[in-house]
Amino acid sequence: MVRLLATILFICCLTAQLNAQSNEQAPKEKEKESAAPAAAATSAKTEFPLEAFQEFSAIMVGSVMMGDERESHIYRSGKLVRTEGLEGRNFLITDVTTQETYGVTALACLHDGHPYFRAAPFASMKPGYKVERATSGQETVDGHSCKIEDVTLSSPKLPHPIRLRLWEAEDLQGFPVKVEFRRDGNHNSVIHYKSVVLGPQDPTLFIYPKDCEPPPKGKQMPTKAPPGARKPAAAPAGTPPQH
């Protein structure tokens, strides 16, 4: 179990790795973009829109990784985001302010200095990042009437900006029921959120040991998550997944 948890924690680095992928465009794509008129209206808002959702639970389908179609529970309370491990038999808590992750099983607790990849995009924002927002239309997704918003995060510390497209459900106070990580070369990845419940969460969901051990050194970070899908039943708000 400890080995499994250590492997999971090393995948935490995947979020930063994937967000740092090359966004270089082919000359034709750049020429096309420069010639086309601006289709989106730039918003005067500069805050990260996902910070508006401090308390919620949902089932997420997919992740920041391409081709990931697995389902998992996600909970947020303030600065803490709780997600499930790859096999659903443990949980991980990411602090979006410090970017640290604590992985917990019945037998062990490990600490890593990176956000877990399933905490993205809620953990994608870091202090000092510049936020640019632009509306780009309206669309219905999974029965929700949504405003589409493009969000770009940039920083001198980022080799390339992080580009997100959010489908913000009007009946869920703008919560994004669909998020697309936009990368050039058709390397986009998509997350759908369903069974969304907005409101305070059970605080016991976010308790973790304060003396978690660091992950073992000298192990190579995996380039992708193990195959296989887990299809959890919808969990009531504030109810932890069963392990």
| Domain ranges across the chain | 2-22+39-206
Q: pLDDT for 87-127, tens place per residue? A: 667 999 999 999 999 999 888 899 999 999 999 999 999 99
pTM, to two decimals? 0.77
Residue whose entry in the numeric block shows the structure tokens 């059970």? 202
Q: Which helix (H) or strand (E) holds 33?
A: helix 27-35
Residue 202 to residue 186: CA distance in whole angstroms: 39
Percent above pLDDT 70 for the chain = 69
27 near 190, Cβ under 8 Å? no
Hey, how many other C-beta atoms are within 10 angstroms of the C-beta on 119? 27
Evaluate if residue 223 carries a pLDDT over 80.
Answer: no
Instruction: Return the pLDDT at 85.
Output: 87
Q: How far is CA 206 from CA 92, 104, 132, 201, in A?
A: 9, 11, 31, 9
Instruction: Return the pLDDT at 44.
Output: 53
Q: pLDDT for 122-169, tens place per residue? A: 999 999 999 999 999 999 999 999 999 999 999 999 999 999 999 999
Residue 243 to residue 240: CA distance in whole angstroms: 9
Residue 30 to residue 38: CA distance in whole angstroms: 14
The vertex-233 CA angle with 231 and 238, nearest 5°, equals: 125
Q: Does residue 121 have a cis bond before it (omega within 30 degrees)?
A: yes
Q: Which helix (H) or strand (E) holds 169?
A: strand 162-169
- 218 pLDDT tier (thresholds 50, 70, 90): low
More confident residue, 149 or 218: 149
205 near 76, Cβ under 8 Å? no
More confident residue, 75 or 41: 75
Per-residue DSSP letter, 14: H
1 near 108, Cβ under 8 Å? yes
Q: How far is CA 174 from CA 44, 84, 149, in A?
A: 17, 24, 10
Instruction: Return the pLDDT at 214.
Output: 82
For the domain spanning 2-22+39-206, the CATH number is 2.50.20.10
Q: What's the whole-number average pLDDT of the chain? A: 79
